[in-house]
Amino acid sequence: MTETEDIANSTYDVVVLGAGPVGENVADRTRAAGLTTAVVESELIGGECSYWACIPSKALLRPAIAQAEARRLPGLSASVQGPLDAAAVLARRDYWASDWKDDGQVGWLESIGAEIHRGHGRLSGERTVTVTAPDGTRKVLTARHAVAVCTGTRAVLPSLPGLEEVKPWTSREATSAKAAPGRLVVVGGGVVATEMATAWQALGSRVTLLVRGKGLLNRMEPFAGELVAEALTEAGVDVRTGTSVESVTRENGTVVVVTGTGDHIEADEILFATGRAPHTDDIGLDTIGREPGSWLEVDDSLRVTGSDWLYAVGDVNHRALLTHQGKYQARIAGAAIAARASGAPVQSDPWSAHAATADHDAVPQVVFTDPEAAAVGLSLAEAEQAGHRVRAVDYDLGSVSGAGLYGDGYRGRARMVVDLEREILLGVTFVGPGVGELIHSATIAVAGQVPISRLWHAVPAFPTISEVWLRLLEAYRDN
C-alpha cells in the first residue's frame, strides 16, 4: 500500500469532527443512545480547552488570585508579600494540562465505545468524511445519520507587515510558555487579554496592555472593565486604552511596538488577543456547497440550516464561544441526533431536551481576573437595545458583610437588570473577589425566569457574599 492509497471505507451512525470537550460530549450522548460513533482529531484528544485555554489558563491564574486575596487579610498578608514561585506555578500548570499528552482522554473515549481516527478530517460529500492520517494514508468514513462539526475556533492575528517574522504569542503560547518573559506586551481588551495580563504580571513579567477601545471587557457592563482596569493598574500593569498598534518588529530578539500615538514600546514577547475565527477553512465545506472559513448557522437542535444530516456544535456556530455552552449544546445535539435516528420527533418547546434555548438569553461567563467579573443574560444596554422596558438595580458589594470578611478593602459591584413588565431578571453582573461562584444562582434566576417576588423567599446564608441578593431585592422594592 502506498502512503496515499485509500483503505477500506468504514460506516458509522455518527461521525464527529473534532475531539475537544464538545466533540467528546456529542460522542458520549450518541454512544449512550446506542449509536456507533467515530471521532476524528488532528491534534490532542481533549482539544483547545484542555491544553491551551480553560484548564492551563486557570491553573496559571489561581495562584495569582489566591495571593492577591491573601494580601488583603490581616494576619496573613505579611506572609505573602514575596513573588510567586513561578517554576512551581508553571509545573502545576503542566500537570493540569497533562503535560500535553492525551492518554487519559483517549482512554475515556475508548471506554464509552467511540472509535478514534487520528488525522485531518475533511468533508468529502454528503455524510462523508475523509481522514488523512499523519503517515499520509486515507480513510473514508460514512455516517448513516449525522456528521457533527465540532472544530472550534482559532486565534486571529491582525494584518501587520512582518508580523509573522516577529513570532507573536497567541492564546496558545500565552498558556503554555515555559518561563515568564521579562517584558510582555498584550494587545486586546477582552477575556484572554485581561486574564493573561493578570497571570504573567503576577509571575514576574512587566506587562503593558494595549487596548484599542475605550475600556476593557466591553461585552459586559461598563463597571466590570473599569474595576478590572483599576486593579490591573494597581498590580503594576501599564494599561493604555485608546491605543492602536501600527507596526511590530523584532530587532536582535527584542520586540518593538509602534503605537498609533507614535510611542515605541520594547518587550521580550507580544501577545495578540484580538479575536477568534471559525476553524472551518479546511474541513471540506466546499464539497457540500458551503463557504470554507465561515461560521455555520444552526437551529436550536444544532442542525445546520438547510441540512438534514450536518450539525455544528460549540464555538463553530458562533452562538456562544464558551466551553460550558459548547458542552451544553453537545448534550442537546446528541439527544436530537439520537431522536431523529430512531424516528422519534424532535421537540422545539423550552422544556425539550432537544432544544438549546439557554444560548439565547442565559449565557453565563466568568473572567478570572482580580477582581473576578461574572455575568449572565443581558447587560442594561443590550436589554434597552432589544426594546425591553427595564430598570438596573446596583449595589456596592463591599457593603455586604460576607464580602467584608473576605478581605480588607473589598471592592466590587453587583447589578441586576429587571424586566419591569414581567418582573423577572434579564441579566445579572457581579464584579469582585470570589464572585465567580455566585453566577450560577443568577443563571438559575435568569434561565428559569423566576419572578422577583419569589426570589425574595430564596434566603441567602449569612455571612456570605450571596447576601448581595437580599440587598439587590431590597433596593428594587424600596425605590
β-bridge mates for residue 283, sequence order:
none
Are the C-beta atoms of 156 and 277 separated by less than 8 Å? yes
Radius of gyration over every alpha carbon of the chain, rounded to an integer in angstroms: 24
The grid coordinates of residue 477 equal 422594592
139 labelled binding-site residue: no
Question: Is 314 annotated as belonging to a binding site?
Answer: no
Do the annotations mark residue 474 as ligand-binding? no
Largest separation between any pair of C-alpha atoms in the chain: 79
195 is in an annotated binding site: yes
Say which residue the cell 484572554 belongs to: 192
Q: Is 147 known as a binding-site position? A: no
Nine cell digits for residue 476 = 428594587
191 in a labelled binding site: yes
Q: What gap in Å lies between CA 424 and CA 385, rounded to an integer?
A: 18
58 labeled part of a ligand binding site: yes
412 labeled part of a ligand binding site: no
Q: Residue 318 is placed in which grid cell?
A: 458562533
Closest C-alpha among 477, 224, 175 to residue 371: 224
Q: Is 189 within any annotated ligand binding site?
A: yes
Residue 377, annotated as binding a ligand: no
Binding residues for FAD: 58, 121, 315
Per the annotation, binding residues are 58, 121, 188-195, 275, 315
Which residues are part of a known binding site for NAD(+)?
188-195, 275
